[in-house]
Amino acid sequence: MPKLSDVSRHVRSKQAGPFWVTIDIWFDGEENFERYRESRGLSPEVFASLFGTDPALVKKIPVPELHLVKISYPRATPQGGVVERDMHSGQQYVRLLDVELG
């Protein structure tokens, strides 16, 4: 089973306001976009386990013309609290790179 990093050309994460994170996954082409856009590796449950978020609120929107999947989720704690480690959420994508896409 390939990892996300094997079938994507770029993955990024960024805060979308103080309460949300949004992740953009550019697949390496149409073939892998179509094959993995609905993968269980990108399911709300995986986001819940990786990021401690509420799976019911995870939003996934494919953007076919860019071979891209956008996934957004509420931060486990709002931006800038006592235990903040990544103010702009710019490093959150890294833990997705090794996720296996089935």
Partner 1 sequence: MRDELKLPVKILVPCGSLGAGVREDEVEYGLARGAHAIATDAGSTDSGAAYLATGKSKNSRGAVKRDLMILMKAHARTGIPVIIGSAGQAGGDLNVDWTRDILLEVAAELGLSPKIALLYSEQSRETIKAFNADGRISPLPPLGPLDDAAVDACAHIVALMGVEPYIAALEQGADVILGGRSTDPAVLASFPIWKGAGWGPSWHAGKVGECGAQCTEKRDSSGVLLSVGRDGFDVEPLAKDNYCARNGVSAHMLYENTDPYLLTEPGGQLDVRQVTYEELGDGRSVRVTGAVWNPRPYTMKLEGAGGGKFQTIMLVGIQDPDVLADVSGFESRFLDALYARARQTLPPEEQDDFHISIRMYGWNAVDGRPVPEGTPPPRELGVLFIATARTQDLANSIAHACNPYFFHYPARMDKELPSYGFAFSPADVPRGQVYEFKLNHVVSVSDPLELVRFEWVQADAQTQPAGGQENHYAKTE
Applying CB under 8 A, the residues found at the interface with partner 1 are 14-20, 22, 24, 54, 57, 59, 61, 63, 65-66, 68, 70, 72, 74, 78-83, 85-88, 91, 94-95
Beta carbon nearer to partner 1, 85 or 102: 85
Instruction: Decide whether 34 or 54 has the Cβ nearer to partner 1.
Output: 54
- Greatest Cα pair distance in the chain: 43
Q: Which is nearer to partner 1, 6 or 57 (CB)?
A: 57
Minimum Å distance from CB 62 to partner 1?
10
In DSSP notation, 36-90 reads HTT-GGGSHHHHHHHH---GGG-EEEEEGGGTEEEEEEE-SS-TT-TT-S-TT-T
Min separation Cβ 32 and partner 1, Å: 17
User: Measured from the CB of residue 87, what is the shortest distance to partner 1 in angstroms?
Assistant: 6
Partnered with residue 63 across adjacent β-strands are 68
| Vertex 95: Cα angle to 68 and 36 (nearest 5) | 35
